[in-house]
Amino acid sequence: MSHITSSNRPRGGGQGKGGARRQENNKIYAYPLPLLFSPPPRTTVSLATSRVLGIFGSSNIQVENPHCEGVLDRATKSVWVTNKKDAMILWRRGFFGKGDLSRSEPSWHTRQVNAHREAAASAGKTLTSEEIREKRRAERIQFKLDRARAMAQAAEEAEIAFKEGRQANTVSIPSGATWKPQQSTQEPSTTEQTLVSKVMPEVEEDEDKIKEEEPLEDIEHLQLTLQETFFLIWNFDCLTVRDPLYDKRLTLKEIWQTLQEVYYPSLPSSSLKLLHSYANRFDNQFLVSYVAYHHYRSLGWVVKGGIKFCVDLLLYKRGPVFQHAEFGVVVIPVYEDPEDQITSPFRLNNVEPFTWSWLSTINRVNAQVQKTLILTYVTIPARSRVDAALVSSPACLAHYSVRDVVLRRFIPARMRD
């Protein structure tokens, strides 16, 4: 992919707050892969010995493997990493996965804690969790009373207007979306007291439902795509996946087969013959997607999902925290043998010839956000040429080929030269 180049334009200056944040990110995201490579202590091996080992293809470099764990979730076609330490390792060392409650980095808990702190700061002092709970409880009671007072006033106004034969004046009744707490010294009238007494049981019931607030639990997990999962397992052996359906850890061969079966349709057990037609197919959606993912990851790009911009993948030079994605990728499967497409039980996206209006639309969307569109053609090997039994192992990936076609939107007013 030598024809795909990344822009070196700086995004913001290197001084002040932006420069400090960039330096901090360089420290946090200093490692591009989950594995850490460190040279041995100088006292362990001499320089001469190290050179001799290098000649024979051996190395004494120490490798630190984090050995993360995840759980396969078939419904979402993903793997969940619930251990917070493992999640931060995979995110900070290569930007693998995304938080299920966040746009990218799993930062839901941090955002919630900061929101509580900002609410406390707006009150003029640093409040404890108990004080925040009491403040919310008092505001809820005050809202109930203000609403009851307004309803009593509206009823009284309507009754007076009816007796006088005129139209009642409009009385604003507080809404939970717009109401703001404020002190009130007005004494309620007899009618208001009666209506307040009617809604007080509702207030007390709400009070009974308010439980003691506990420290905020971090319920977010890191969500890995199946392509990211197999890339981490096959290339780095730094991830272990447990299948809750069988309550066991999957081996490499089992995970390879299971990730393909995730894309099988839900069929009754009686349809074993139909289910067998999905096996040993080179056009399985997992295989086609993984070929494209592995292609760009192996070239050093950080690959993320691109559904937000109507594409399949986004390519980052370093990662989402450093700069925006430079390229948007649309994966287009191409059958080497047209007969395989006719007999295929799968219906892959972008196989049929696309229209020029579709292409122009996607190209315009990505041009507006300063991304270059790439059409990635993944050629599916013919079953008549390659033995279908190869699908049972990653050896079949060597028979796929990838071609990149870079598109740029032509703007006559800007491209006269």
**83 and 193 co-located in one domain:** no
Structural domain includes residue 215? no
Residue 108 lies in a domain: no
Q: Would 167 be classed as within a structural domain?
A: yes
Task: Catalytic residue, from 67, 198, 308, 324: name it.
Answer: 324
Report which secondary-structure segment, H or E, holds 42.
none
User: Given this model, what pLDDT does residue 319 score?
Assistant: 93
What's the rounded Cα separation, in Å, for the pair 135 and 120? 10
Q: In this structure, are 411 and 301 located in the same domain?
A: yes
Per-residue burial over 114-133, b if 16 or more Cβ lie within 10 Å, else e, is: eeeeeebeeeeeebeeeeee
| Residue 190 and residue 174 share a domain | yes
pTM of structure: 0.72
Place of tokens 């190395």: 59
Q: In what order do the strands lie in the sheet with 78-81?
A: 98-99, 222-225, 78-81, 68-73, 239-243, 248-249
6 assigned to some structural domain: no
The CA distance from 159 to 168, in Å, is: 8
The reply to whether 293 and 390 lie within a common domain is yes
Q: Are 309 and 413 part of one and the same domain?
A: yes
User: Helix (H, G, I), strand (E, B), or coil: what is residue 329?
Assistant: strand
Tell me whether residue 371 is one of the annotated catalytic residues. Answer: yes
Is residue 27 in some structural domain? Answer: no
Read off the amino acid at residue 170: T
Q: Which of 29, 293, 316, 400 is catalytic?
A: 316
- What Cα–Cα distance (Å) separates residue 173 from each residue in 144, 170, 288, 380? 11, 9, 59, 65
DSSP one-letter string for 161-198? HHHHTSPPPP-PPP-TTT-------PPP-HHHHHHHHH
Contact 126, 116 (CB under 8 A): no
Tell me: do 278 and 355 sit in the same domain. Answer: yes
**Residue ranges, the chain, pLDDT below 50:** 1-2, 6-14, 210-212, 270
Q: Tell me, yes or no, whether 372 and 251 share the same domain.
A: no
Report yes or no on 344 lying in a domain.
yes
Q: In whole angstroms, give the CA distance from residue 38 to residue 54.
A: 15
Residue 260: Cβ within 10 Å count: 21
Q: How many residues does the chain have?
A: 417
Give me the CATH number covering residue 256.
3.40.1170
Sequence-distant (6+) residues with CB within 8 A of 184 are: 142, 146
**What's the CA gap between 361 and 382, in Å, rounded?**
32
CB 327 within 8 A of CB 372: yes
Q: b or e along 268-277 (b: 16 or more beta carbons within 10 Å of the residue's beta carbon)? A: eeeeeeebee
Q: Are 286 and 259 in contact (CB under 8 A)?
A: yes
Catalytic residue among 98, 144, 371, 399: 371
- For 184, 197, 200, 240, the CA distances from 145, given in Å and listed in that order, are 10, 10, 8, 56
In three-state secondary structure terms, 318 is coil
The domain that holds 325 is classified in CATH as 3.40.1350.10
Q: Which domain, by its residues, includes 60? A: 37-66
The total number of structural domains that make up the chain: 4
pLDDT of the residue at 196: 54
Q: Is 36 helix (H, G, I), strand (E, B) or coil?
A: strand
Q: Are residues 243 and 200 in the same domain?
A: no
Ramachandran region, residue 169 (left: φ > 0; alpha: ψ -120 to 50; beta: rest): beta
- Considering the domain architecture, whether residues 93 and 204 belong to the same structural domain is answered as no
| 215: nearest Cα among 104, 372, 109, 366 | 109
Residues 142 and 250 in one domain: no
How many whole angstroms separate alpha carbon 315 and alpha carbon 328? 6
- In this prediction, residue 139 carries a pLDDT of 78
The pLDDT tens digits for 354-364 are: 888 988 899 98
Write the pLDDT tens digit of every residue in 272-288.
666 777 888 999 999 99
- Start-to-end C-alpha separation, the chain: 27
The confidence score (pLDDT) of residue 14 equals 45
Q: Do 142 and 195 reside in the same domain of the chain?
A: yes
Residues 79 and 136 grouped into a single domain: no
